[in-house]
């Protein structure tokens, strides 16, 4: 019963609905954020032929549990529960990409870039002493808004939610 409420409150049921509509919406939103917040990374990923769908789907489908330690996931999910939205997933994703930019990951070969994005960043050698607290602090400081992309919709329980117009079905 509580899991069902969680799925409703955070709209995760839409992520898993046939055709994965919210997942693809989040992927498009993430791509837009990367192009505006991390333009150098965005250009390098395009040059490599790396699309967000090659790595970010696992992040969003699992709420980051696939690629992060249990301790990291506890922190990420605590923030999500306190904030009442999924923005921390986007913030963590942007922080991972920013870390990759600093480490020169996107100057590597295609296979190395994809491997790193699919979880290669989650080890001590890659983090080079950056502890979890520092990483989470960096992620929570990522500020973004979607006003030009957004519209307000009702969520279960009467909660208002800003949902990107990127999530709307394309007009014919």
Task: Give tens-digit pLDDT for 74-118.
Answer: 999 899 888 888 889 999 999 999 999 988 999 999 999 999 998
What total number of domains does the chain contain?
1
- 61-72 mean pLDDT: 84
d(CA 44, CA 36): 14
How large a percentage of the chain has pLDDT more than 90? 34
Q: Is residue 83 part of a domain?
A: yes
Mean pLDDT of the chain: 79
pLDDT > 50? residue 146: yes
- 47-65 mean pLDDT: 91
pLDDT > 70? residue 156: no
Q: Is residue 48 part of a domain?
A: yes
Question: How is 19-60 classified by DSSP, letter by letter?
Answer: T-HHHHHHHHHHHHHHHHH-HHHHHHHHHHT--GGGTHHHHH
Q: What is the pLDDT of residue 89?
A: 92
Q: Which residue segment(s) compose the domain that 131 sits in?
A: 2-167
Summarised one tens digit per residue, pLDDT across range 112-135 is 999 999 887 766 455 545 678 888
Q: What is the pLDDT of residue 154?
A: 42
Q: Is residue 124 part of a domain?
A: yes
CATH of the domain at 151: 1.10.472.80
Structure tokens at 57: 């789907």
Q: Is residue 172 part of a domain?
A: no
Q: Is residue 47 part of a domain?
A: yes
Q: Is residue 135 part of a domain?
A: yes
């Amino acid at each position: 019963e509580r899991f069902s409420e969680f799925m409703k409150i955070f709209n995760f049921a839409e992520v898993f609905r046939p055709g994965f509509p919210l997942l693809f919406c989040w992927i498009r939103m993430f791509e837009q954020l990367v192009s505006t917040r991390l333009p150098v990374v965005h250009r390098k990923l395009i040059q490599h032929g790396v699309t967000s769908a090659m790595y970010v789907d696992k992040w969003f489908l699992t709420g980051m549990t696939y690629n992060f330690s249990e301790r990291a996931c506890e922190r990420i999910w605590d923030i999500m529960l306190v904030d009442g939205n999924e923005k921390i997933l986007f913030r963590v994703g942007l922080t991972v990409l920013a870390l990759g930019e600093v480490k020169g990951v996107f100057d590597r070969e295609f296979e190395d870039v994809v491997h790193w994005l699919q979880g290669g960043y989650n080890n001590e050698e890659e983090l080079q002493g950056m502890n979890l607290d520092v990483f989470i602090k960096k992620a929570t400081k990522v500020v973004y808004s979607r006003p030009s992309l957004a519209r307000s919709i009702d969520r279960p329980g009467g909660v208002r939610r800003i949902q990107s117009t990127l999530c709307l079905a394309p007009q014919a």
